[in-house]
Structure formats: C-alpha cells, structure tokens
Amino acid sequence: MTNRRLLLVLLLVAAVIPYFVNLGTTSIIDANEAFYSETPREMLESGDYVNSSFNYEPRFNKPPLSYWVVAGFYHAMGISLTAARLPIAIGALVILGTVFLLGRQAFSTDAGLWAALTLAATPRMLLFSRRIIIDVYTAMFVGLTLLCFVLAETQPARRRRWLVAMYVAVGLGVMTKGPVAAVLPALVLGVYLAVTGRLHLVTRMMLPAGVLIVAAIVVPYYAALYAQHGWQYISTFIVDENLARYAEGVGAPNRGPLFYLPVVFTDLYFPWSLLLPFSFALVPWRDILAGSGWRRVWGADEAGPPAVTGRLRLLFGLWIALIVGFFSLSKAQQDLYVLPFVAAGAPLVGGLVAQWLSGTGSAALQRATRWGVGAMATVLAILGALVAWFVGGSGEPIHVAGAWPAGMLVLAGGLAALAWTIRHSRWKAVVTLAAAVIVAHWILVIWALPDFERYKPVPRLAQAIQQQAPAGSPVGTFRIATPSLVFYLRQHVTEMFDVNQLRDYLRANPRAYCVMRGEDYQDTSASLGIPTRIVAHAPHFDAQLDDVLNRTPLPDLILITPANGVGQE
C-alpha cells in the first residue's frame, strides 16, 4: 500500500468514526425521527409487530421493516436513542462500502476510496445518519440493488448469485419505503439496457425468480395485515401514500420541476457535489445515441459494444438523471427522496478526483476539475466565516459551543486548499479540504451538538411534567408539533389546534398539562375561561434562517396547567 493510499484509508476511518460517537447524547429531532423511535417502542410494549402505532393510535403509512430493526435493537440493548440510531449509522456505513465498490468497479481502488471518503465527509450525510431517517435505509437498499446488478454485469460466473442478492435488496427496500424501492431500479436498469442495445438481456435477469424472492419478503407481512383488517390499510398505503402523493402531492409540498437541481448539486452531497457537474464528463453519453434505434435496442446488432467500465459510467449517469427526473415529475417533493442518487454520484466524483490527482484524462477536464476544486475551497471558506460570525459568538441570541473554532477551521482549510490549487498542488488541496470537513465533523458531534440541546425544549418540558404531574395526568399540545413528547413521557399526548378544544380539555382535566408557544398563550389565555399558570418554559429554535441572520431572540415553548391543579411553580 502506498503512502498516499494509506493516508486515504486513515482519513476514511477518521471520517467514519463521528457517525457512531455520542449517538444517544442528543435528543430526538421533532420530525420523522420521533415516529421511527416511538413506534418500535410501542411495538415492544404491546408485543404486536403487525399493527404499528404512534401515540397509541394506528399508523400504517410506512412499511414496518425500519420499526422491526429498531425494536430488535431495543430488545437487545434496552430502549435508548443509542439503540434506535445505531442501525441507521450502520446503514450509512453500508452505503459507504457500496460507493467504494462501485467506484472501484468503474474506475480504480483509489477512486473507490475517494468516493467513500467524500461521501463520509459530507455534513448532511453525517447528520442524517445520526438520526432515525429511513431515507438512509432506502438509499442503502437501492444502492445495494445497483451494486449487485453491477457485480452481476462484471462477474458473469457469479451472475445468478448477485441477481439473487439484488432481488433480496429490492424486497427489503420495499419493506422499508414501499414500491418506489423497486420502481426506481427497474426504471434505471431498463433504460440502461435499452440504450446500450442489450434489452434482450432482460430474459437473463431471472425475473420470475426475482418476483418470487421479493414476494417471499413482502407478502407475509401484508397477508397478516389483510387477515386482521382486510384491504383497509393496504389500499390506503398504496393509493394515498404512494400513487396520490406522487400524482397529486398529498401530504407533501409541490416545489416545482427544478427543485431537485440545487438539492443534488449543492445540498445533499455538499461540498463535493460542486464537483458533480464536472464528473458527468466521465459518462459516455454518446453511447446512448449508439444504442438508439429499434434493432439496436433489442440487440439485433451487437457490433462494437462499449467497454465494461464505460457502460458502468453510463449506468451511473443514467442513475442520477432518471432518479432526479422521476421525482422532479412528482407533485410531492422532499429533498431526501433523491438521496439514492449518491450511490452513483459519489463514485463519479471519486473517479474525477482520482483522475485529476493522477493527471490522466483530457486537458480540458483537468482544467475544469481544477476550477471546481478552487470553487469548492472558496465556498467552504465563505461558509466557515459565516458560521463563525453568526453562531460562534457567545453574545449572539443563537450561539453554539464549538461553532467558532469549527468555522475558523473550515475557513482556514478552504483558504489553504485554494492556495494549493492555485499552486497546482493537487493532492494537498483535496486532502486539506477533506481533513477540514472531517475535523469539523468531530467538533460537531463532540462539542456543538451536545451544546445545541439548550435549544431543544421538549426533553426539559417532559422532565418538568414527570417531576410535577401525578401519574396518569393528561398531557396535550396546542398548535405545535412535538411528537417526541410521546417517547419521553411514554403516554398518549392529545393534539389540539382550536381554542375551543383547548378550553374544553383544560376544564375537563384539572390536572392537565399543555405545551404551547408563548405567543399562542398570550393570545388565548384570556379566552380559556379558567385561570392557568406557566409551570415551565424553554427556548425553542425553529431552524429559520432569518432568525439567525437577524439575530432574533428565540421564542419560548411553555408548559401550562390549570391554576387550581396540583402542579407547582
């Protein structure tokens, strides 16, 4: 192993460790993570692994595999956030291994290492993988589907074995996210075979066996669900959560057909996504034209097939384009829907970096890559300065310990990498960028995230309820989504949005508690008709960029109870 490759491996190890450090020290993010941590806990409590629930009410909007995985870790390790988050971090590790193998297949071992390193040194990937975000599982299973297909392509002697593994990955993906885990790979692989003039190879894809494998994984759960409820929840999931969401935008915003372009090129894979447009030059797009035409598509003309590595790079390009295009046509759009693109995006970027460092490839691409690395270094330097300025100062309304040193480190790393790029010290430039991001990740997980707990009020308010409320006291929320409250209290929480609901709730339950915004309390307290008092309060960070830029003081979430109740100040 050369010194440079050894350094790459060491950097990769240093980048991976933060995915597992302090997993349980930060509280639940009040969004999807609350559902995916509490539902498995309720499964464990009830012993019912077919009928998933949240807040002790039926919840069948997602397949159960992610719940089962977390419940299994709960059973083995005890109920904790570490146990809930550990399988997601392991899933991220599998994705890193996947992009390494794909990069090695399409380019070289160094390209595979750079693919894994750049993806590991991606802030958003780190944060997603330290929370219970099932899109990480989806990206893992869909990425494994791609990897197994590629290995079946490149290892004909083991083709059947890899195809069986591919269909297992598809089945597990369907049990995690739904039909989309099968639709996306089928779309991409079908188009890929068509444009490379090998659509006739569909007959060698073991489709009947594949259907049976996927069915063996998926059908038993839905058969058990059907036996208890008929088609009620199955049809609702298929129609409302999949077809209606895609075609009509039910349950998610429609942000327009261009929404995913900045998500792909500046967000989910940032900062390395800034190199992604240049990596498309490695894709032999002209092979699409070479494979066009009815006879060519169906394989009647087999003359001049492209090299295997060229075909793989074309597959990667199509993977990104078709996944982004598929979700761009949807009426329901969330940034994480396109996360599976990294399975192909990271190997392409890894190949680009490896070629740039080795000086291979066309002179034009070498120049373009140099400009891309320089732009990435500049953007990182600016971002580091902004972080240090806006959230690093102790006198700011929103300040986080470690933000200043992390921001200054990224600023210095960006400037140093820019200087190395200008001086044509390619290796030093890219390693400096990777190292700066990795060290910032360490500061984030050890220092910044634990300090940020000051701005997450739910655990504090839940503790106040547990300390002051008699057992069995009703708890509710008013005009605010705090689903993690259910996990911390281990009881049903009543959600209210109308003042009349809140009034009736407090009048009927003199020992009741309610979490709400401070401003909502000011607006409604006079109309409640009974005296109430504030038992506890905590600052609430709502993740609004304007609040950070304008240095706006944080609002409070408050906990109220009827004044004649038994709570104490």
Pairing of strands 513-517, 556-562: antiparallel
pLDDT digits (tens, 9 = 90+) for 118-144: 999 999 999 999 999 999 999 999 999
pLDDT digits (tens, 9 = 90+) for 265-313: 989 999 999 999 999 999 998 877 665 544 444 443 343 334 788 899 9
Q: What pLDDT sits at residue 392?
A: 65
Sign of CA dihedral 260, 266, 270, 275: positive
Please state, as a whole number, how many other Cβ atoms lie within 10 Å of the Cβ of residue 445: 22
Q: Are 211 and 329 members of one domain?
A: yes
Query: How would DSSP label each residue in 344-409?
Result: HHHHHHHHHHHHHHHT-S-HHHHHHHHHHHHHHHHHHHHHHHHHHHHHS-TTSSS--TTHHHHHHH
Domain end among 333, 358, 383: 358
Torsion of CA 512, 515, 521, 523, to 10 degrees: -110
How far apart CA 78 and CA 62 sit, in angstroms, is 24
How far apart CA 517 and CA 513 sit, in angstroms, is 13
Q: What pLDDT sits at residue 549?
A: 53
Q: Are 45 and 126 members of one domain?
A: yes
Structural domain contains residue 363: no
Distance of CA 517 to the CA centre of its chain: 29
Q: Are 342 and 378 members of one domain?
A: no
How far apart CA 6 and CA 24 sit, in angstroms, is 32
Structural domain contains residue 129: yes
- Whether the pLDDT of residue 545 is over 90: the answer is no
Q: In terms of residue numbers, what domain contains 494? A: 457-562
Structural domain contains residue 431: yes
Domain end among 454, 474, 500: 454
pLDDT digits (tens, 9 = 90+) for 145-204: 999 999 999 999 999 999 999 999 999 999 999 999 999 999 999 999 999 888 888 989
Q: Are 52 and 199 members of one domain?
A: yes
Q: Are 409 and 488 members of one domain?
A: no
Q: Are 199 and 321 members of one domain?
A: yes
How far apart CA 429 and CA 426 sit, in angstroms, is 5
Domain end among 454, 470, 501: 454
Structural domain contains residue 268: yes
At residue 253, the 3 state secondary structure works out as coil
Structural domain contains residue 568: no
Q: Tell me the chain's radius of gyration from C-alpha atoms.
A: 26
Mean pLDDT (the chain, rounded): 91
Q: Are 20 and 145 members of one domain?
A: yes
Q: Are 538 and 406 members of one domain?
A: no
Structural domains of the chain, count: 3
- Whether the pLDDT of residue 535 is over 70: the answer is yes
Tell me how far apart the 2 most distant CA atoms of the chain are, in Å: 87
Q: What pLDDT sits at residue 253?
A: 77
pLDDT digits (tens, 9 = 90+) for 62-120: 999 999 999 999 999 999 999 999 999 999 999 999 999 999 999 999 999 999 999 99
Q: How far is CA 176 from CA 69, 181, 216, 501, 554, in A?
A: 10, 8, 15, 36, 37
Residues 311, 193 contacting (CB under 8 angstroms): no
Mean pLDDT value across residues 541-548? 58
Q: Are 435 and 291 members of one domain?
A: no
Decide: pTM greater than 0.75: yes
- Whether the pLDDT of residue 321 is over 90: the answer is yes
Higher local confidence (pLDDT), 556 or 442: 442
- Whether the pLDDT of residue 567 is over 50: the answer is no
Q: φ, ψ for residue 563 (rounded to 5)?
A: -65, -25
How many residues are given for the chain? 569
Q: Are 146 and 264 members of one domain?
A: yes
Contacts of 463 (CB under 8 A, 6+ apart): 488
Structural domain contains residue 298: yes
Q: Are 337 and 313 members of one domain?
A: yes
Triad 386, 388, 393: Cα angle to 5° = 125
Structural domain contains residue 364: no
What sections of 242-341 are H helices per DSSP?
245-248, 260-266, 276-279, 286-290, 294-297, 308-328
Q: Are 429 and 531 members of one domain?
A: no
Quickly state the pLDDT bin for 249 (edges 50, 70, 90): confident
Q: Which of 277, 251, 253 is nearest to 265 (CA)?
A: 277
CATH of the domain at 536: 3.40.190
Structural domain contains residue 499: yes
How many CA atoms lie less than 13 Å away from 362 in the CB half-sphere?
7
pLDDT digits (tens, 9 = 90+) for 187-233: 999 999 999 888 888 989 999 999 999 999 999 999 999 999 999 99
What are the structure tokens assigned to 365, written together? Answer: 């691409």
How far apart CA 139 and CA 128 sit, in angstroms, is 12
How far apart CA 330 and CA 50 sit, in angstroms, is 30
Q: Which of 377, 311, 317 is nearest to 345 (CA)?
A: 317
